Amino acid sequence: MSDTEGVPQESFVGTIRIAFTDVSEISATITMDRLAEICAEHLDEDDSVVVSQVVPFSTPTSPEEVLNVLKRARNALIRSRLQPAYDIARELDMQIWQIDPTLLGQYDYSRMPDFTTRIFINKEDPNE
């Protein structure tokens, strides 16, 4: 929201993390939608508020679920085709190697070129 007509404006994205209790995930989603409406009232007409995620805070995460999230993140970083992102993906893959109980021994440096080929050429989503 701005009171300065004619002054060039920049675009911004703000993140708000709201922790609250509610009776169910459906009710929590409704609460977040209401909060988004209240936030939108304080913005210009062409600005927007989007609720991107409503998740239970106390849900335990299994090690397998964590590994799956890390693997999806690694694949997304590779897909970006940016060298710094690829370097981060390699570091992340090394961490996956360390915490995945099915992967033993020294890190296999041939994994990343293999993943890159599978993602871009074979259109796969590697999950190892």
User: What are the backbone angles phi and psi of residue 24, rounded to the nearest 5°?
Assistant: -160, 170
Q: What is the pLDDT of residue 22?
A: 92
Question: What SS3 class is residue 39?
Answer: helix
Count up the domains in the chain and report the number. 2
Q: What is the pLDDT of residue 56?
A: 81
Q: What is the pLDDT of residue 3?
A: 62
pLDDT digits (tens, 9 = 90+) for 35-88: 999 999 999 888 999 888 888 876 667 888 889 999 999 999 999 999 999 999
| 101 and 85 housed in the same domain | yes
60 compared with 32, residue with greater pLDDT? 32
Containing structural domain, residue 32: 1-58
The residues, any chain, with a CB within 8 Å of residue 96's CB and separated by 6 or more, are 67, 70, 71, 74, 103
Could you give the CA distance from residue 49 to residue 47 in angstroms, rounded to a whole number?
Answer: 7
Question: What SS3 class is residue 76?
Answer: helix
pLDDT digits (tens, 9 = 90+) for 73-128: 999 999 999 999 999 999 999 999 999 988 888 999 999 999 999 999 999 999 88
Q: Is there a domain that residue 49 lies in?
A: yes
| 114 and 77 housed in the same domain | yes
Q: Are 127 and 68 in contact (CB under 8 A)?
A: yes
What Cα–Cα distance (Å) separates residue 37 from each residue in 34, 75, 125?
Answer: 5, 35, 37
User: pLDDT grade, residue 4 (50/70/90)?
Assistant: low
pTM score, two decimals?
A: 0.56
| 5 and 35 housed in the same domain | yes
Q: What is the pLDDT of residue 119?
A: 95
